[in-house]
Amino acid sequence: MTPTLTVRYPMPKAPEGYQPLLNRGSRGSLWLADDHLLVIETTRFLLSIRETYRRLDFTNIQAILHTKSQRGAWLIVLISVLLVISLLILLLAGFDNRAALFFASALALPALAALVVHFIKGQTRALMIQTTVRPWRLKMVTRHSHVIKVLTALEPLCREAQKEIPHTPSNPDSAPASTFKPFPSAPPVSSDNPPSMAGAHPLAFPAWLCHMTFAAMMGGEMIWNSIAATLLMMCFAAASFTCMMIAFTRGGGSLAIGGRGVFIFALSMLGVSLVAGYVAAMAGVVQASIRGDSSEFSSEESFLRAISEFPEGSPDALSIVAITIIVLTGISAVAGLLATVRRNKLQRTSMEPTTPPSS
Amino acid sequence: MSAGFLPETTSTTCRACRKPVEAILLPRAFAPASPPPLPGAPPAPGDALCFYDSTQKATCLCSQCGVLVSDSWSADWGSRKVCLRCLEKLRESGRDSSFESTRLMWDNICLLLSSTIFILIFPYFAIIAAPAALVLGIRAWNRPRSLVPRSRFRLIVALVLSSLQILAMLVGIYFLIQAMLTS
């Protein structure tokens, strides 16, 4: 009997006819009915604005696939960046500076808490359900524990629903049916047209160029210090950010690294560069204001002079910021190059003829 | 392997990213593809005709509207058979939740609009957002919320917040006018 949904008071915790399988709140949820799996996905902007419902019949599910995802790695990268920024603040302003200690703690403590929670929750995983029509990625399944929960409940139900389906081939070692394509095929490439940056948007190179120029100008502020330079630097930063966002949203690449992974990394480095620069400026301002120098902020030059007036023996603020930004940009450039080389290598490998299964 | 053995789990590598993938294969993966049936012989005299195509024989009854339809004009929806026109109408009208594919969360939208004064940098947006939240909240009072049943709590909070903001704006405008008149 097809389950019907009715709303009544007091509110039931589950739609009528459904059993809860996985409820991630605004991230989506999974519900089990007698003959199908209900997948509720949400479109979020702070709160879920739209819900999308998919019903996957147990009889149509061909395979359940799961693999390790990159979410955990990027989370650790983000947390590390926050910790580096906190350390930077303390190095610039001094460990005995209360304001700097407060800002650094405000960044470091939540980051450390997030790191602990991440390790407690376990490895990040991605789960896909392959049906006769297409594969569906269940975005609300993000951890190993979620995968175990879904597999434990779903697999027996699918096998029970499909027990009448004739599936035994005369040769048990033969390949699955032609409709079964569990893994995304590599994009068609030829030896005449090898991929240079397959999956990358044409704005990738301009984004990198603007980012490098921004970083170089940030370091060059030690030599050329003027409002025009600052404005030009901000224009390059904005151009780099815009190119990266367009390339990120429109560039190809799904689960594979090298496409979106490059831009996520570059985006994070750009964000770190901006944040590091302005946080350093804030630390300098805070320290200057504590010393009572706030009346000198009448021009940009005096502002920069105030930032540079650190206790004797401490490194120059702008030098530290510039060197940090250059180092981070260099890391992101190397990472981007490595990812691109790796992706090209994967594409060339996928062009090699595969050995058909022996009959 | 013995005859009929079906490997339940297999580990392999994705061809695109080379990451290891665990796959649980189900009997459907090995079932031969069944193409849709070709149109059979023309209906004989006395046979029931498809409501939408008189050249085809009716094979089933639409569970929604009750007309006789052929296999080409019907679709399986769970355990029900519906004709394609009823399927389209049910999906568009959204009255039957088992046919819904998407739904707007009006309570969350109203809550977001009524909270702009707290979450956005520019609180002046509340001049537009608060009345919008109030109007949308009243219009969406009886609309279906999430497929997972939940109360109107979010909607009530949104209406209260937006009402308070509108009241504060009106009081502010009153005192502003008073100040302008006295000056």
User: How high does pLDDT run on average in chain A?
Assistant: 67
Distances (CA, A) of B19 to A8, A121, A258, A279, B13: 47, 22, 13, 38, 5
pLDDT of residue B58: 85
Look at A206-220, A289-303, B64-78, B91-105 and tell me which has the smallest mean pLDDT: A289-303
| Torsional sign, CA B26, B30, B36, B37 | negative
Cβ pairs bridging A and B (under 8 Å): 175
Residue B16 CB-density burial (10 A; 0-12 exposed, 13-18 middle, 19+ buried): buried
The mean pLDDT value for B108-132 works out to 76
- Location of structure tokens 């707007």: B104
Q: Which tens digit of pLDDT belongs to each residue from A7-27? A: 333 334 677 778 888 888 778
A40 touches chain B (CB under 8 A): yes
Under an 8 A CB cutoff, do B24 and A155 touch? yes
Q: Which conformational region is residue A5 in: left (phi greater than 0), alpha (psi within -120 to 50 degrees), or beta?
A: beta
Range 278-337 of A in CB contact (< 8 A) with B: none
Among candidate residues B26, B54, B25, the one with its CA nearest the CA of residue B39? B54
The mean pLDDT value for B12-20 works out to 74
Give A193's pLDDT tier (boundaries 50, 70, 90).
Answer: very low
Tell me the sheet residues that pair with B80: B77
**Contact, B23 vs A65, CB < 8 A?**
yes
A234 touches chain B (CB under 8 A): no
Number of C-beta neighbours around residue A187 at 10 A: 12
Number of C-beta neighbours around residue B171 at 10 A: 10
Alpha helices, H only, B102-152: 106-114, 116-119, 126-139
Going by the DSSP 8-state scheme, the letter that residue A198 receives in this structure is T
Distance CA A287, CA A173 (A): 73
Residue A237 CB-density burial (10 A; 0-12 exposed, 13-18 middle, 19+ buried): buried
The mean pLDDT value for A297-321 works out to 51
Task: Say if residue A117's pLDDT is above 90.
Answer: no
**Percent of chain B residues topping a pLDDT of 70:** 81
Pick the more confident residue, A245 or A353: A245
Look at A16-30, A119-133, B23-37 and tell me which has the smallest mean pLDDT: B23-37
Minimal CA separation from A246 to chain B, in Å: 23
Distance CA B32, CA B22 (A): 23
pLDDT of residue A208: 66
Q: Which tens digit of pLDDT belongs to each residue from A314-359? A: 445 555 655 666 666 666 566 555 655 555 565 555 544 444 444 3
> Which 3 state secondary structure label does DSSP give A32?
strand
pLDDT of residue B134: 92
Give B135's pLDDT tier (boundaries 50, 70, 90).
Answer: very high
Look at A62-66, A90-94, B42-46, B93-97 and tell me which has the smallest mean pLDDT: B93-97
Distance CA A81, CA B127 (A): 38
Under an 8 A CB cutoff, do A130 and B29 touch? yes
Tell me the sheet residues that pair with A135: A130
Under an 8 A CB cutoff, do A177 and B29 touch? yes
| Two structure tokens written together for A337 | 């190059």
A350 touches chain B (CB under 8 A): yes
pLDDT of residue A150: 92
Task: Say if residue B10's pLDDT is above 90.
Answer: no
Q: Which of B96, B148, B151 sits opposite A40 (nearest CB)?
A: B148
Give B171's pLDDT tier (boundaries 50, 70, 90).
Answer: very high
Among candidate residues A136, A76, A82, A72, the one with its CA nearest the CA of residue A106? A82
Task: Say if residue B160's pLDDT is above 90.
Answer: yes
Give B114's pLDDT tier (boundaries 50, 70, 90).
Answer: confident
Q: Which of A53, A155, A257 sits opposite B102 (nearest CB)?
A: A53
Distance CA B145, CA B155 (A): 10
Look at A25-39, A77-91, A257-271, B130-144 and tell me which has the smallest mean pLDDT: A257-271
- Please confirm whether the linkage preceding A10 is cis (ω < 30° from 0): yes
Under an 8 A CB cutoff, do B111 and A47 touch? yes
Pick the more confident residue, B117 or A28: A28
H or E segment to which residue A30 belongs: strand A29-32
Minimal CA separation from B20 to chain A, in Å: 6
Give B167's pLDDT tier (boundaries 50, 70, 90).
Answer: very high
pLDDT of residue B155: 92
Among candidate residues A61, A21, A15, the one with its CA nearest the CA of residue A161? A61
- Location of structure tokens 């969350």: B108
DSSP codes joined into one string, B34-45: -PPPPP-SPPPT
Confidence (pTM): 0.58
Q: Which tens digit of pLDDT belongs to each residue from B49-87? A: 888 888 888 888 888 888 888 888 888 876 788 888 888
Give chain B positions within 8 Å (CB) of A159. 26-27
Distance CA A311, CA A112 (A): 30
pLDDT of residue A254: 33
Look at A45-54, A70-79, A151-160, A346-355 and tell me which has the smallest mean pLDDT: A346-355
In this structure, the strands spanning B74-77 and A29-32 are unpaired
pLDDT of residue A188: 45
Q: Which tens digit of pLDDT belongs to each residue from A63-77? A: 999 988 888 888 888
**Percent of chain A residues topping a pLDDT of 90:** 4
Give B137's pLDDT tier (boundaries 50, 70, 90).
Answer: very high
